[in-house]
Amino acid sequence: PMIAYHTAALYTAVHRALTADLPELLRLAADALATVPAPPDLAGWSELTREELFRLAPVCGSLVVLLFGLPACVLCEPRIGRTGEYWLTRVALLRGIGLLYVFAFASSAMQGRALFGARGLFAPATGSSGPTPALDLLAAAGVGSADARVELASLCGLLLSLLLAFGGPRFALWAPLPASLWLLHLSLVNNASRLLPAHSWEWAASELGFLAIFLAPEWPPSTLYPRLLPPPSAVLLLFRWHLFRLLLGAGLSRLADHSPSCWRRLDCAAAHHETQPMPTPLAWLLHGMPARWRAAEAAVSLAALILAPFAALLPSRAARLATFWIEAGVQVGSMASGNVGFANWAALVPALALLDDAALAPFF
């Protein structure tokens, strides 16, 4: 019965994606393109305002990547997974995703009952909106309390994520471990769907965990560098694509019509450091910097979120390394000046796919 239930749930999800979600995404993309302030002739480009140029930047960048970047990735770098090139990258990605899971499951174990337990602030009224296979399995095993099932799943996930982050090769490079973690995390995220609809970081962590399943070998190796099981090139490209979508989406959300206009004026940093979650002493120092400094800070943040991600898809190693260090600097700076949970880590971990063994060797 449980297999039939999850098969039906999977079919329903795929059917909804093809018949509702995909047409809606295409409609939204068409509506967005219809509002692009592209001038009808070349002379009109000189009359564009700074706000209009900001709105044109992602569209122009997307065209460049689609016309030149993606074909170059296929033609110029067909050996991305060759022996000895991305072994360390795979280990770093799996360890990093293990740390992401540690943060997620530890948070759920400590706060789950109060937030989305039976008597929590966001208690599910009619059940979750998506499949919760781990919680269903615990219910079938006789764990009667919903709160107990959430906490037991969180603690199991915390233990397994510690094995992925710090365990030996038989744990870190064995596909069933990230698969189990993904099912546990998916169950908790869907169980808390009333709390998380506007927070993309939990869903981003779930997507990264799903990709990690295909990054790890299906057979437990005795070493971190099994020569007969090289890192899959397609999965590494999907990690880069995830990073591109995550950063570009965060950047475009700051320039949307409903977003504060201060981002287009480059003066949002004036209020950001005093209104962000748990500002640090560094935030106090940055808040007191001159207006030109804060404008430069906003400009660098927008460039790192909107322009730099396009370099992550290019077939140039130098472009990828530069993108990684730009994004790492922005994320570390954000962590040093505030606290937004593991959101910064969710952006930093997939950026590891931009590095190869030569760049990671000094850290191993």
**Which position has the token pair 């969180």?**
154
For residue 159, what pLDDT is reported?
A: 94
For residue 82, what pLDDT is reported?
A: 43
The pTM (predicted TM-score) of the whole model is 0.78
For residue 19, what pLDDT is reported?
A: 85
Q: pLDDT digit string (tens) for 20-50? A: 877 887 887 788 777 777 788 888 878 887 7
Q: What is the DSSP string of 116-163?
A: HSTTSTT--SS--SS--HHHHHHHHTT---HHHHHHHHHHHHHHHHHH
Residue ranges of the chain with per-residue pLDDT less than 70 = 1-3, 5-6, 9-10, 13, 57-58, 61-62, 64-84, 122-129, 193-200, 257
For residue 216, what pLDDT is reported?
A: 85
Determine the Cα–Cα distance for residues 347 and 199; give it in Å rounded to an integer.
14
For residue 79, what pLDDT is reported?
A: 44
- DSSP H helical ranges for the chain: 2-16, 22-34, 50-64, 70-76, 87-116, 133-140, 146-166, 169-172, 176-191, 200-215, 233-255, 262-265, 269-275, 281-287, 291-302, 308-311, 317-337, 343-348, 357-360
For residue 75, what pLDDT is reported?
A: 52
Structure tokens at 177: 């471990």
CB 245 within 8 Å of CB 207: no
For residue 102, what pLDDT is reported?
A: 93
Q: pLDDT digit string (tens) for 150-167? A: 888 899 999 999 999 998
For residue 92, what pLDDT is reported?
A: 92
For residue 160, what pLDDT is reported?
A: 93
Q: Residue 263 CB: number of other CB atoms within 10 A? A: 22
Structure tokens at 246: 């995550």
Q: pLDDT digit string (tens) for 232-245? A: 888 898 899 889 88
